[in-house]
Amino acid sequence: MSSKNQIFCDQLILGSGPGGSVVFDQLTSSGFAPMIIEEGKSADDKAFQDNPAKLTFKYYRNGGVSPILGSPIFPHGEARVLGGGSTINGGLMWRTPKNIKDEWHKPLKEVGINDNEIYKFFDDIDDYMKIKNQKVLSNFDLDSDKLLSGANKLSWNVVQARRAVQSCQRSNQCGAGCPSGAKRSMIKSCLDNGLKNGGTIKTQLRFEKLITSNSKVTEVICTDLSKSPYEKVSIMPSDIFLCAGTLETPKLLLRSKILKAESLRLGLHLNLRFLAKFPDKINADLGTMFTYQIQEFLDQGIIIMASNLRKMYLSTILSKLNTSHNQKILNNYPYLGLYTTTVRPSSYGGFFKLPFIDAFPYFYLNKEDLANLKFASIQSSRLLFAAGAEWVLLPFSKPQFATSFDEACNYINNADKNDFDFLSVHAMSSLPITNKKLMTNDGRLKGLTNLYISDGSLLPSTIGESPQQTIMAFSHYISERWINRHMA
Ligand SMILES: Cc1cc2nc3c(=O)[nH]c(=O)nc-3n(C[C@H](O)[C@H](O)[C@H](O)COP(=O)(O)OP(=O)(O)OC[C@H]3O[C@@H](n4cnc5c(N)ncnc54)[C@H](O)[C@@H]3O)c2cc1C
């Protein structure tokens, strides 16, 4: 390898999602000069003024669909772009829900972490991410208004969505990247700040393997994807923050033979999608992703929201139906709303280490999870019919039209786990900081003196709510501990 492909640096951050970006910002603000590397490309607002299908293919890992082995097999969505998930997500920013804080208090204390040392960062994050209640405009987001009216009829708890979005232009493509620049991703916040404060960002550099010697990571072997043909690059850092996300962080540790598959797990939320037809035109495509969130079942790990509606987003549903049903849907397009119900399962999946093809994630539903999916589907149907829906298309592998709440209950109660059709976009807790066997309470991987984890992997469990702000608070905590030790 030529010397130009060998890089020596102090702090190296692997992955530029919310976890890695916070570390980058915090270290540079304290006078350090870290380097952050990212496999995906950099993207400005203009880059997102394109067809959402093309954008998904370009800025999501595996073109948008990474399968999770299970029964049923289902897709997981994960970013592969500068800023990680924050660049292509819904911009929802919730603090850790109270029931989860209560659940974590004891396990965190047992490993010597005072949870206030983590949650104290929420105010700062609100501030620099400019998190606000999503502004509600009249005659826009009528799909969300339907949820509000259904919730009010049922006297359910409904709140305005808290988002890192300013002056939203209602481009209706949040999940494919914001073309107006309204969403405040990590590119517009921590990464920009870190760059101004002397940090270095390298994109299109994929880390392949960590080399260890004498209880230290001594070298990170990477591939430079910007070169044709690709070139190998070797980085020799003093300290490493591994922030590749809940699935890629464990995969790298498995590839590098640092951990065994049995010591890792995989926490996921499952998203069910409901299509509802209303008697009046709601033109859901004239809106943003959501303006309200139903939190009636938050303590049970269930939240309900509207989603972006575009004809292309219906394609997975249409492909499972016959031509006359497709016509029924497309003819009613202005009357349709697409809704997502997110469910926190009680079980965890894991990783198979397969020879030659990297580690593969799996997740199998248990009986309790199936009961939860049914409960969540029944409550979502109750809400949509209370909001005035004429029919609701249920989230099954063979989608079923229900024209009343009773009919929906009948279909749902008779469904088997393989009948449900779901996907995930929230992964977390593959390497919980509360796992004393693997982690120290400052986020270092035991057995290695210079490898820290700082991403969604670290969360003590799944949380039943959008995880980005919680992940960022944990990353602040990891950075603060590291900075305090190195400035002392
Ligand atoms: C469609 C979608 C919508 C979502 N909506 C919301 C929402 O509204 N609110 C919310 O709170 N959460 C949301 N989430 C989840 C949220 O985005 C994630 O929880 C969060 O981004 C995780 O942060 P992270 O730093 O752990 O990992 P990531 O954001 O996944 O960042 C990891 C980064 O590391 C890079 N990387 C991985 N492996 C390598 C490698 N080998 N070499 C180089 N780089 C690598 C990746 O490309 C990625 O950029 C959503 C997610 C998706 C996919």
Residue 44 region by backbone torsions, left for phi larger than 0, else alpha for psi between -120 and 50, else beta: beta
Instruction: Give the structural domain span for 80.
Output: 3-56+76-129+180-263+429-487
- CA 163 → CA 168, 182, 272, 351, 442, distances in Å? 10, 11, 21, 32, 29
Domain-located, residue 348: no
Rounded Cα–Cα distance for residues 111 and 325 (Å): 55
Task: Give me the CATH number covering residue 407.
Answer: 3.30.410
- Domain boundary among the residues 407, 423, 439 is at 423
CA of 72 to the centre of ligand 1 (A): 24
Residues in contact with 21: Cβ distance below 8 Å, sequence separation at least 6, in sequence order: 36, 83, 84, 86, 186, 189, 190, 191, 194
Residue of 252, 289, 426, 452 to test ligand 1 pocket, by largest number of atoms within 8 Å of CB? 426
Rounded Cα–Cα distance for residues 325 and 393 (Å): 11
Domain-located, residue 349: no
Residues in contact with 149: Cβ distance below 8 Å, sequence separation at least 6, in sequence order: 387, 388
In terms of domains, do 141 and 234 share one? no
Rounded Cα–Cα distance for residues 238 and 219 (Å): 9
To the nearest whole number, what is the mean pLDDT of the chain?
A: 95
In terms of domains, do 305 and 401 share one? yes
In terms of domains, do 284 and 146 share one? yes
Task: Give the tens place of pLDDT for each residue, 29-59.
Answer: 999 999 999 999 999 999 999 988 899 999 9
- Domain boundary among the residues 400, 423, 446 is at 423
| Per-residue model confidence (pLDDT) at position 71 | 87
Domain-located, residue 301: yes
| Per-residue model confidence (pLDDT) at position 138 | 84
Domain-located, residue 203: yes
| Per-residue model confidence (pLDDT) at position 429 | 98
Rounded Cα–Cα distance for residues 86 and 125 (Å): 14
Domain-located, residue 10: yes
Total domains in the chain come to 2
Domain-located, residue 197: yes
In terms of domains, do 292 and 408 share one? yes
| Per-residue model confidence (pLDDT) at position 125 | 98
> Closest by alpha carbon to 378, among 292, 302, 309, 279?
302
Domain-located, residue 200: yes
Which parts of the chain sit beneath pLDDT 70? 1, 357
In terms of domains, do 107 and 240 share one? yes
| Per-residue model confidence (pLDDT) at position 34 | 98
The one-character DSSP state at 60 is: B
CA of 86 to the centre of ligand 1 (A): 6
In terms of domains, do 474 and 407 share one? no
Residue of 230, 425, 429 to test ligand 1 pocket, by largest number of atoms within 8 Å of CB? 425
In terms of domains, do 158 and 283 share one? yes
| Per-residue model confidence (pLDDT) at position 425 | 97
In terms of domains, do 215 and 338 share one? no
- Domain boundary among the residues 423, 446, 470 is at 423
In terms of domains, do 404 and 481 share one? no
Q: What DSSP element (H or E) covers 357?
A: none
The one-character DSSP state at 419 is: G
In terms of domains, do 310 and 414 share one? yes
| Per-residue model confidence (pLDDT) at position 354 | 78
> Is the bond leading into 72 cis (omega within 30 degrees of zero)?
yes
- Fill in the amino acid letter for 394: L
Sign of the CA dihedral running 124, 480, 30, 469: negative
| Per-residue model confidence (pLDDT) at position 4 | 75
Residues in contact with 476: Cβ distance below 8 Å, sequence separation at least 6, in sequence order: 22, 26, 118, 121, 124, 125
CA within 13 Å, CB half, 22: 29
In terms of domains, do 377 and 449 share one? no
Task: Give me the CATH number covering residue 52.
Answer: 3.50.50.60
Contact 24, 36 (CB under 8 A): yes
| pTM exceeding the 0.85 threshold for the entire prediction | yes
Domain-located, residue 401: yes
Rounded Cα–Cα distance for residues 290 and 303 (Å): 12
Residue of 22, 38, 358, 453 to test ligand 1 pocket, by largest number of atoms within 8 Å of CB? 38
CA of 17 to the centre of ligand 1 (A): 5
Rounded Cα–Cα distance for residues 57 and 284 (Å): 24
In terms of domains, do 434 and 451 share one? yes
> Closest by alpha carbon to 23, among 481, 344, 476, 486?
476
CA of 236 to the centre of ligand 1 (A): 25
CA 438-22-436 angle, 5° bins: 15
Rounded Cα–Cα distance for residues 149 and 305 (Å): 13
Residues in contact with 53: Cβ distance below 8 Å, sequence separation at least 6, in sequence order: 312
> Closest by alpha carbon to 176, among 430, 425, 453, 444?
425
